[in-house]
Structure 1
Amino acid sequence: MNPRRNGPLALAFNALVITFMLAPLVVVCAVAFTPENTLSLPTTRWSLRWFEAVFHHPDFVQSFWNSLSLALASATLATVLAVPAGLAISRYSFAGRDLLNGLFLSPLVVPHLVLGVALLRLFGLVGGAGSFGWLVLAHALVITPYVMRLVLAALVGFDRSAEHAALSLGASHATVFRRITLPMILPGVSGGWLLAFINSFDEVTMSIFVTAPSTVTLPVRMYMYATESIDPLMAAVSALMVAVTAAAMVLLDRLYGLDRVLVGKA
């Protein structure tokens, strides 16, 4: 096939796909700047009134801090679990290795709706329903596979000669990990942490089932607000979430590279 002949068609198709995917986000962000009381695109002037309303809405402010704290804690916990697991799976052959790998990656194929119902039942049995700590565990369960994949990708082709040299010179395994291994895989670890943070911050399906009134996250708060009323306040909150997610994705691209992230998730 002639690439020059098919080039414009492929370019046009990609442009249509990108437009189709980005159009809803652009419309929502544009509506957020309307000065009107209804969802309408601004025509003659722009206004920040709905962004100001968001910061003066106590429920949304508290939910934002809940989401931020939850994402930080769950992403850190997921990283703490994924790094040693990734090292064990990539470097050693042992009985149950494939089972362990599948166990860590299984949340990727289980619908979050199913996980939410199952975790709600589990937390009810152990008396942890609505607890922030149990909510962190629930989110860590969902986002650990993202960290796991990037850690495994960072360990592919890892040259262990520096580790062996340090061990032969009397360094302990802990020192080797802290001074050699971790710095060499740090781009993958930090990229996995940031990707886990993004997914935890935006998670809504499972969170609906396991949150309590004191631990409502921002996506859940938005869902609850949308069931009662729809006004430009929702568009302003959505625009802020898009901005936060986009900033995190730019940082992730700087740290690790989005092309490598997509390969790691494949």
Structure 2
Amino acid sequence: MSQQQKNGPVALAFNALVIAFMLAPLLVVCVVAFTPENTLTLPTTEFSLRWFRAVFVHPDFMQSFWNSLWLALASASIATLLAVPAGLAITRYNFPGRGLLNGLFLSPLLIPHLVLGVALLRLFALVGGAGSFGFLILAHALIVTPYTLRLVVAALVGFDRSAEHAALSLGASTATVFRRITLPMILPGVTGGWMLAFINSFDEVTMSIFVTSPSTVTLPVRMYMYATESIDPLMAAVSALMVALTACAMVVLDRIYGLDRILVGGK
């Protein structure tokens, strides 16, 4: 018996324990969300949708939800509009500063969001945009663009350009080739990048704390603020809804692009 076969059950057990350790807090939160009690109670003797109903009639949480939804939609779309031409330039052309451009787009992944939040707060204050929803969109687009660019670049690497060359030789314009050949062929990567950007924008809290205003508070920030003031199961219900929303988005992303391709770098 090989060493790999001997370590198989041990490795499987270790991975199962790690997954259980990571998912246990989420499971506990989701179970607590169904309690009918006024406090965080586990185990509970019965299940109730009381706190889920309370979420949908809570004006602050509903307003924050819509803020997060429109913010994620706008920032993910802007990130995609930036990532597609940037990905084409990085993968297809050799020009001075190519590596610098690639590093510039990916740099938000290297900077802690706490540092970005403080820096953007200062910048927005200097230009008179502090608290503006438009500047909040730009801030989120900044941090989610690397995710979209990574998947767009992965879709373009190894891209067979024979169909493009054939279309160009037959008289099609560059714009027509991009619209009718290139974009449809890389669309899974573009769509997957948009979905990943949407998820990261919707769940972002660290940077958003610094750049939101009372009228533009996002759902994660609202949850953080509420958790500092109360310990009732309403927070667990909101958390369970966010877990469900994120899980649904990940399932869609897996169907469109494949999570295994994302984890291995799009290969």
TM-score, scaled relative to structure 2: 0.98
Does structure 1 residue 4 correspond to structure 2 residue 5? yes
Q: Which stretch shows the higher mean deviation, 243-252 or 255-264?
A: 255-264
Instruction: Confirm or deny: 8 A CA contact 2:155 2:266 kept in the other structure.
Output: no
How far has the Cα of 1:215 moved from its partner? Answer: 0.6
How far has the Cα of 1:5 moved from its partner? Answer: 1.1
CA distance in 2, matches of 1:89, 1:11: 40
CA distance in 2, matches of 1:234, 1:176: 50
Structure 2: gaps of 5 or more residues: none
Identical amino acids, percent of aligned pairs: 83
Aligned pairs (5 A) from 1:44-55:
44-55=45-56
Where has structure 1 moved over 3 Å in runs of 4 or more?
Answer: none
How far has the Cα of 1:230 moved from its partner? Answer: 1.3
Instruction: Confirm or deny: 8 A CA contact 1:146 1:265 kept in the other structure.
Output: no
Match of 1:23 in 2: 24
CA distance in 2, matches of 1:95, 1:214: 44
How far has the Cα of 1:264 moved from its partner? Answer: 2.7
CA distance in 2, matches of 1:199, 1:91: 28
How far has the Cα of 1:175 moved from its partner? Answer: 0.6
How far has the Cα of 1:4 moved from its partner? Answer: 1.9
CA distance in 2, matches of 1:240, 1:131: 27
Residue identity matched to 1:51: F
Aligned pairs (5 A) from 1:121-200:
121-200=122-201
Structure 1: gaps of 5 or more residues: none
Over aligned residue pairs, what C-alpha RMSD do you find? 1.1
Residue identity matched to 1:225: Y
CA distance in 1, matches of 2:200, 2:144: 7
How far has the Cα of 1:42 moved from its partner? Answer: 4.5
Does structure 1 residue 112 correspond to structure 2 residue 113? yes
Match of 2:38 in 1: 37
CA distance in 1, matches of 2:3, 2:90: 43
How far has the Cα of 1:2 moved from its partner? Answer: 2.2
Does structure 1 residue 233 correspond to structure 2 residue 234? yes
Match of 1:102 in 2: 103
Match of 1:254 in 2: 255
CA distance in 2, matches of 1:88, 1:220: 36
Match of 1:210 in 2: 211
Instruction: Map Cα deviations across residues 152-182 of structure 1 (whole Å, 9 max, x no partner).
Output: 1001110001101111111111110000000
How far has the Cα of 1:43 moved from its partner? Answer: 2.9
CA distance in 2, matches of 1:2, 1:133: 57
CA distance in 1, matches of 2:170, 2:128: 51
